[in-house]
């Protein structure tokens, strides 16, 4: 299996997103495995600030040269901020998926949903199962 | 029950390079090695090496071979010199495209069609059916490997490997060359919009040729390049892809390929239908467009003018060379002039685009 970065201090989803606490808010992005599978990111479509997200439902799209993929919300909540740098520099998702390539900042409204997220070990196992 | 995917002679080479392999036209083919953008840029600035062995070669031999080809294809065949290649279309009786082909005359009474991988069986069947009993029609696809070396550095790389006794051909010509000590039919053709060569070899020599090219090309920045880059390159050059810009419901004229169609009174298959369709009031017409608003147009997205759906996108992608999103699509001929504003429906939004002259690159 190739060496994918999977930081231990984050939570993850089966749809290859990561979740990080930032004070009262939640920061969300796609994982190193995701950006590697997608290839060169050329376009990211994010929701408006103030929009609602629903756990498991699409909240935007991420496009590589050849394909369009949905982004699935890990948690239900309200969008506080979106990463506007991605408009001019979508490649930040490839270059720094856990840092400058973050996607949205959310106010999560259902604390129970965190139980459904994967820790780093569980996500590592999920990637290992799927990585050919 | 799925059929097993076929592999080219270079399969192990691609695996060794860490290529991402995908099913394409019944073959397992490399879509990219490192990054589509990097491979695309390599071709534009230096050189890229493609394995396109999945494509088909249908050979015609015999006294009537040229005459048979003349009836089958839209381009002029009788004026083809030995060693000359021409682009044309195989049409059915309704004037619709069965395939787009490169026809090459390799002998007095010998031509071959290079056909799309997805159409090998259809093209072979059609040619065999219409060539007449006295013409030997042979499908050489499985025994032939094809490498494409494309980019401004291609010539320099080959010069170093090509025997002085067998000089490289010029554009749209072919020659039997000794390259890295191997017998190669070199063709001054390509599908990228950059200068380069397509190199036909026996399967048993494919790996040796690939490795020789990689070694010679290394100091010149040669990169292996996959089908992903092949698609973005040909899109920038506004070259059609069968199944997208061309299909059975599309005539060469609708696809803007008028200059590859000889006079209709020559009586080739489909000519009568094209004549009959000449006075259709506002047929569809292929255009190139650039996105003005934010978004990427993709195949099958709807095209609208002033809120009315008028056509659809056939191909679209971000252009690495131009730094903007481009596409090809069909609109009514009355709306096909450069400068025409369009909207492309991208999921829930109508995003502005404009018709531009093609090819997209200068």
ipTM computed for the complex: 0.88
- Nearest CB to B36: which of A40, A61, A87? A40
pLDDT-based confidence at B4, cuts 50/70/90?
A: confident
- The answer to the question of residue B339 being in a domain is yes
B192 to chain A, minimum CA–CA distance in Å?
17
- Mean per-residue pLDDT for A85-98? 97
pLDDT per residue over B138-193, tens digit each? 999 999 999 999 999 999 999 999 999 999 999 999 999 999 999 999 999 999 99
More confident residue, B355 or B3: B355
Name the domain count of chain B. Answer: 2
* CA distance to B95, B124, B133, B242, B261, per residue, from B98 (Å): 9, 11, 21, 9, 14
Instruction: State the residue range of the domain holding B228.
Output: 11-50+143-236
Name the domain count of chain A. Answer: 1
Pairwise CA distance, residues B182 & B184, whole Å: 6
Beta bridge partners of A118: A12
Q: Contact B352/B343 with Cβ under 8 angstroms?
A: yes
Task: Kindly report the CATH number assigned to the domain that includes residue A101.
Answer: 2.40.50.100
Chain A hits for B228, Cβ within 8 Å: 39, 65-66
Task: Kindly report the CATH number assigned to the domain that includes residue B329.
Answer: 2.40.30.110
Instruction: Give the number of other Cβ atoms within 10 Å of residue B263's Cβ.
Output: 9
Please judge whether B317 and A65 are an interchain contact, meaning their C-beta atoms are less than 8 angstroms apart: yes
- Mean per-residue pLDDT for B100-125? 97
Mean pLDDT taken over chain B: 97
pLDDT per residue over B10-50, tens digit each? 999 999 999 999 999 999 999 999 999 999 999 999 999 99
Please judge whether B231 and A63 are an interchain contact, meaning their C-beta atoms are less than 8 angstroms apart: no
Instruction: Quote the tokens at residue A60.
Output: 């935007």
Query: The dihedral of CA B244, B248, B249, B254: what is its sign?
Result: positive
Q: Please report the pLDDT score of residue B21 as a whole number.
A: 96
Work out how many CB contacts closer than 8 A connect A with B: 28
- Nearest CB to A65: which of B294, B318, B347? B318
Task: Kindly report the CATH number assigned to the domain that includes residue B32.
Answer: 3.30.1360.120
Chain B hits for A61, Cβ within 8 Å: 347
Task: Give the residue from A99, A39, A108 showing the smallest Cα distance to A80.
Answer: A108
Please judge whether A43 and B318 are an interchain contact, meaning their C-beta atoms are less than 8 angstroms apart: yes
B213 to chain A, minimum CA–CA distance in Å?
26
Task: Give the residue from A108, A49, A51 showing the smallest Cα distance to A75.
Answer: A108
Instruction: Quote the tokens at residue B134.
Output: 């006295």
Q: Please report the pLDDT score of residue A1 as a whole number.
A: 54
What are the residues whose beta carbons fall under 8 Å from the beta carbon of B2, sequence distance 6 or more?
A: none
Q: Which 3 state secondary structure label does DSSP give B15?
A: helix
- The answer to the question of residue A94 being in a domain is yes
* Angle, CA of A23, A27 and A28, to the nearest 5°: 160
- The answer to the question of residue B195 being in a domain is yes
pTM equals: 0.94
Mean pLDDT taken over chain A: 95
Pairwise CA distance, residues B240 & B245, whole Å: 5
A61 to chain B, minimum CA–CA distance in Å?
10
Q: Where are the alpha helices (DSSP H) in chain A?
A: 32-38, 85-88, 92-95, 120-130
Same domain, B303 and B177: no
- The answer to the question of residue B66 being in a domain is no
- Nearest CB to B37: which of A61, A63, A65? A65
> Which residues 80-99 of A are in CB contact (within 8 Å) with B?
87
């Amino acid at each position: 299996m190739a060496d994918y970065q999977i930081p231990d201090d984050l939570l993850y989803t089966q749809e290859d997103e990561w979740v990080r606490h930032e004070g009262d808010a939640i920061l969300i992005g796609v994982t190193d495995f995701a950006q590697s599978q997608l290839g060169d990111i050329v376009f990211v479509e994010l929701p408006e600030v103030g929009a609602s997200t629903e756990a498991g439902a699409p909240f935007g799209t991420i496009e590589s040269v050849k394909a369009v993929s949905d982004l699935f919300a890990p948690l239900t909540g309200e969008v506080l901020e979106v990463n506007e740098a991605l408009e001019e520099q979508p490649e930040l998702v490839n270059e720094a998926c856990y840092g400058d390539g973050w996607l949205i900042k959310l106010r999560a409204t259902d604390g129970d949903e965190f139980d459904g997220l994967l820790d780093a070990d569980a996500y590592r196992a999920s990637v290992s199962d799927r990585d050919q | 029950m799925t059929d097993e995917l076929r592999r080219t002679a270079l399969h192990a080479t691609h695996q060794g390079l860490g290529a991402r392999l995908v099913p394409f036209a019944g073959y397992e083919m490399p879509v990219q090695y490192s990054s589509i953008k990097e491979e695309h840029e390599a071709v534009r600035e230096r050189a890229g090496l493609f394995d396109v062995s999945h494509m088909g070669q249908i050979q015609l031999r015999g006294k009537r071979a040229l005459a048979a080809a003349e009836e089958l294809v839209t381009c002029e065949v009788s004026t083809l010199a030995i060693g000359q290649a021409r682009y044309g279309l195989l049409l059915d009786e309704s004037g619709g495209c069965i395939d787009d082909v490169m026809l090459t005359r390799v002998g007095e009474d010998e031509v071959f069609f290079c056909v799309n991988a997805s159409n090998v069986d259809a093209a072979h069947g059609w040619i065999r059916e219409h060539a007449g009993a006295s013409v030997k029609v042979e499908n050489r696809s499985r025994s032939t490997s094809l490498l494409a070396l494309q980019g401004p550095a291609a010539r320099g790389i080959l010069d170093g490997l090509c025997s002085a006794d067998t000089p490289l051909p010029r554009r749209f010509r072919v020659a039997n060359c000794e390259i890295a000590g191997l017998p190669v039919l070199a063709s001054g053709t390509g599908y990228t919009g950059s200068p380069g060569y397509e190199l036909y070899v026996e399967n048993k020599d494919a790996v040796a040729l690939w490795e020789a090219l990689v070694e010679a090309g290394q100091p010149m920045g040669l990169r292996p390049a996959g089908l992903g880059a092949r698609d973005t390159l040909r899109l920038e050059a506004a070259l059609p892809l069968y199944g997208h810009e061309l299909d059975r419901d599309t005539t060469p004229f609708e696809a803007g390929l008028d200059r590859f169609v000889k006079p209709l009174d020559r009586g080739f298959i489909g000519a009568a239908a094209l004549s009959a369709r000449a006075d259709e009031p506002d047929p569809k017409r292929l255009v190139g467009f650039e996105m003005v608003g934010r978004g990427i147009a993709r195949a099958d997205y709807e095209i609208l003018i002033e809120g009315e759906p008028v056509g659809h996108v056939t191909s679209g992608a971000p252009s690495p060379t131009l730094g903007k999103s481009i596409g090809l699509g069909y609109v009514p001929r009355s709306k096909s002039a450069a400068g025409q504003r369009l909207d492309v429906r991208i999921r829930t939004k109508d995003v502005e685009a404009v018709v531009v002259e093609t090819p997209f690159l200068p």
